Amino acid sequence: MTKKQKKMLVRIIVAAVLMVVLWVAYRFFGVELIDENGARANVLLIREPIWFFLYMIPYGIIGYDILKKAFKGIIKGQVFDENFLMAIATVGAIVLALIQKSGDYTEAIAVMLFYQIGELFQSIAVGKSRRNISELMDIRPDYANVEKDGNLEQVDPDEVEIGTIIVVQPGEKVPIDGLITEGNSSLNTVALTGESVPREVFAGDEIISGSINMTGVLKVQTTKEFGESTVSKILELVENASSRKSKSEEFISKFARIYTPAVCFSALALAILPPLVQIFFMHSGSEVWMQWIYRALTFLVISCPCALVVSIPLTFFAGIGGAGKEGILVKGSNYLETLSKVTTVVFDKTGTLTKGVFEVSGVHHNLIENEKLLEYAALAECASSHPISKSLQAAYGKEIDRNRVTDIVEISGEGISAKVDGVGVLIGNDKLMHREKIRHINCHSVGTILHMALDGAYAGHIVISDVEKENSGEAIRELKKAGIKKTVMLTGDAKAVADDVAGRLGVNEVRSELLPADKVTEVERLLEENKSLGKLAFVGDGINDAPVLTRADIGIAMGAMGSDAAIEAADVVLMDDDPMKISKSIKISRKCLRIVYENIVFALVIKFACLILGALGFANMWLAIFADVGVMVIAVLNAIRALRVKNL
């Protein structure tokens, strides 16, 4: 509990104790006695004004801030809010008690008391889910160790330049993305990916910031600035997530804006019209005023919309927090809402359903030695971020001297043209060869064929092949089980490879040999087809598919493998690239939305029932308090369930 919450708790306890003591004392000292002659004698040992004064002590203790806020609201012209409702209702009840000389002020105090209990409860609940999110925030590194003259110096990660060697000791967070140059260790990435099994890393491995180094000392050469590092990107995402409102949240705040004044005026009408009618037409006495004013005040307490205003944003907040713990970053409540309506999931192949780690399975028809061809390939690819490029460099295995390469042009979806040692190198698929009008030999192996031309003459091809991620098939089955109607795979790769993978994974449709622009067209077609059914999600790694990530109803990016562009363009980021997380995120979103609807229906039904009872005079303040605070507490408890997503 925070200091503020503790203070509130003390206020609640003090006010409650005082209220009970006064109530008992009043019964004790305040009874009317009838003497033996039948005459009434009021034996109030303490006189009425003193009672009033005494009762105002707990009322003031528990309600002063509400009264102050209501007053401020009136001055500012923003009259109709919960504070106003509570202030009017309780002050009204006190005035009624004064006029009726009933001496019973407990109702007014109780309304404030329970309202504050509800508020305290809600603030604890919000705090709890906020803490869950800030556990994620715990990945923020405070410093980076840089070696200077043999000594380690702690510097602000912001000041570390690209290429600096930093030292990460056991127990420390990795502050900046980089490459391990020395040492090995195991990394705890649970805060990033939700994956609790430590990851073993060795010299030469890439390392992402935000993970925790557990065992060995690592020397890391930074490859990014702090601001561009994974950890900064994630924090930015998380910090912005709550500012993107869902439709349900917008609906509720609009609803409250209309609803609150509406109930205030209804209450006013309830206080004035029926008594006037009764007095004029039924010749009732003036006591009917009291009765109807009391009903109107009860009506006000019942109608407070706080259950909805509080619980719905809280549900989304909890849902985003729960997803975050599983390594699924959702950038806003609106995306959670869209996700819950997904009926079609479209996948990119490379890096999404497959590992994106190609192995060279053959080199054919080459006119120079294999080794030399691979060298040209690896060098020409030295600047590309495509998984093919990384794999070729790995297959080549030697240090790459970037100074030997000039004029690099990457033609997305086709390949690369560059000059290596002054020789013009073309590497890519048959589209590229057609375009450059180079006669090439078709290859019959199943695999991704990289044709190569040197100085405009065909030089042979390298066959590479990629493997599916272990659980891609399972992920697709899970999606179908979750009721996803259609799964589609789009790829720039050759038809043979695409069909082979698609067949094994069991996707419904496959389209191959697509250029990045074709993928957009294809997704637009699918969007049109799916329009009346639900929403379309696209899952990709952002390499050659960032535009599609933006175009789809919802873009899901592979965070670890994916490019920065993907993380930026996507609405949901899967930190550990695990395709199983796609169905998981959909399930989380559905649970969250189900809770939202449950709360809306529950709160509205109870409120309307109580409002009608209140207007008819069947509800007193105590029922009103339940309708307000009780409903809110139940709704908030229900909202917190959205945090629990582990076993979905």
Write out the residues near ligand ADP by the rule CB under 6 A.
348-350, 381, 384, 386, 388-389, 413-416, 427-429, 448, 450, 491-493, 543-544
Tell me the residue nearest to Mg ion as measured from the CB.
Answer: 350
Q: 532: buried, middle or exposed (CB in 10 Å: 19+, 13-18, 0-12)?
A: exposed
CB nearer to ligand ADP: pick between 350 and 589: 350
CB nearer to Mg ion: pick between 348 and 571: 348
Q: Which does 168 bind (CB under 5 to 8 A by kind): ligand ADP, Mg ion, none?
A: none
Catalytic residues: 348
- Segment near Mg ion (CB under 5 A), from 283-291, 345-353, 436-444, 522-530? 345-353
- Least distance to ligand ADP, CB of residue 163, Å: 24
- Segment near Mg ion (CB under 5 A), from 222-230, 441-449, 535-543, 609-617? 535-543
CB nearer to ligand ADP: pick between 318 and 450: 450
- Least distance to Mg ion, CB of residue 381, Å: 15
Two structure tokens written together for 310 = 């509080």
Q: Which does 575 bind (CB under 5 to 8 A by kind): Mg ion, ligand ADP, none?
A: none
Using left for φ > 0, alpha for ψ between -120 and 50, and beta otherwise, residue 183 falls in: left
Two structure tokens written together for 528 = 């049109």
Residue showing tokens 């009317």: 32
- Least distance to ligand ADP, CB of residue 525, Å: 17
Instruction: Give the separation between CA 229 and CA 236, rounded to whole angstroms.
Output: 11
Q: Which does 389 bind (CB under 5 to 8 A by kind): ligand ADP, Mg ion, none?
A: ligand ADP
CB nearer to Mg ion: pick between 436 and 545: 545
CB nearer to Mg ion: pick between 375 and 466: 466
Two structure tokens written together for 142 = 């405070």
- DSSP, res 227: G
Determine which helix (DSSP H) or strand (DSSP E) holds 503, and give its type and residue range: helix 495-505
Instruction: Give CA 608 to chain center in angstroms.
Output: 32
CB nearer to ligand ADP: pick between 331 and 355: 355
User: CA 166, 167, 170, 171 torsion: positive or negative?
Assistant: negative
Size of the site for Mg ion (CB under 5 A): 3
Two structure tokens written together for 285 = 């006495």
- Least distance to ligand ADP, CB of residue 489, Å: 9
Q: Which does 542 bind (CB under 5 to 8 A by kind): ligand ADP, Mg ion, none?
A: none
Beta strands in 184-241 (DSSP E): 185-188, 199-201, 206-207, 212-213, 218-222
Instruction: Give the separation between CA 51 and CA 49, rounded to whole angstroms.
Output: 5
Q: Which does 429 bind (CB under 5 to 8 A by kind): Mg ion, ligand ADP, none?
A: ligand ADP
Question: 537-566: which residues touch Mg ion (CB under 5 A)?
Answer: 543
Q: Which does 415 bind (CB under 5 to 8 A by kind): ligand ADP, Mg ion, none?
A: ligand ADP
Show the site string, 347-376: x = touches Mg ion by CB under 5 A, - = not: -x-x--------------------------
CB nearer to ligand ADP: pick between 315 and 544: 544
Are 540 and 348 contacting, i.e. CB atoms less than 8 angstroms apart?
yes
Q: Do strands 554-558 and 572-574 pair parallel, antiparallel, or not at all (unpaired)? A: parallel
Q: Which does 305 bind (CB under 5 to 8 A by kind): Mg ion, ligand ADP, none?
A: none
Q: How far is CA 27 from CA 105, 107, 560, in A?
A: 13, 15, 70
- Segment near Mg ion (CB under 5 A), from 29-37, 142-150, 344-352, 529-537? 344-352
- What residue type is assigned to position 147 of the chain? E
- Least distance to ligand ADP, CB of residue 523, Å: 12
Does 429 contact Mg ion by CB under 5 A?
no
Q: In what order do the strands lie in the sheet with 165-168?
A: 151-155, 144-148, 165-168, 218-222, 178-182, 206-207
Are 518 and 467 contacting, i.e. CB atoms less than 8 angstroms apart?
no
**Which contacts of 426-431 are long-range, i.e. CB under 8 A and separated by 24 or more positions?**
426/451, 426/452, 426/453, 426/454, 426/456, 427/376, 427/377, 427/380, 427/381, 427/451, 427/452, 429/492, 429/494, 429/513, 430/494, 431/513, 431/515
User: CA 312, 313, 314, 316 torsion: positive or negative?
Assistant: positive
First to last CA, the chain: 30
DSSP three-state, residue 152: strand
- Least distance to ligand ADP, CB of residue 348, Å: 5
Instruction: Give the separation between CA 146 and CA 230, rounded to whole angstroms.
Output: 19
DSSP three-state, residue 533: coil
- Least distance to ligand ADP, CB of residue 515, Å: 7
Are 345 and 537 contacting, i.e. CB atoms less than 8 angstroms apart?
yes
CB nearer to Mg ion: pick between 189 and 448: 448
- DSSP, res 226: G
CB nearer to Mg ion: pick between 348 and 628: 348
- Least distance to ligand ADP, CB of residue 452, Å: 10
387 phi and psi, to 5 degrees? -55, -30
Q: Which does 338 bind (CB under 5 to 8 A by kind): Mg ion, ligand ADP, none?
A: none
- Least distance to ligand ADP, CB of residue 387, Å: 8
Binding site for Mg ion (CB under 5 A): 348, 350, 543
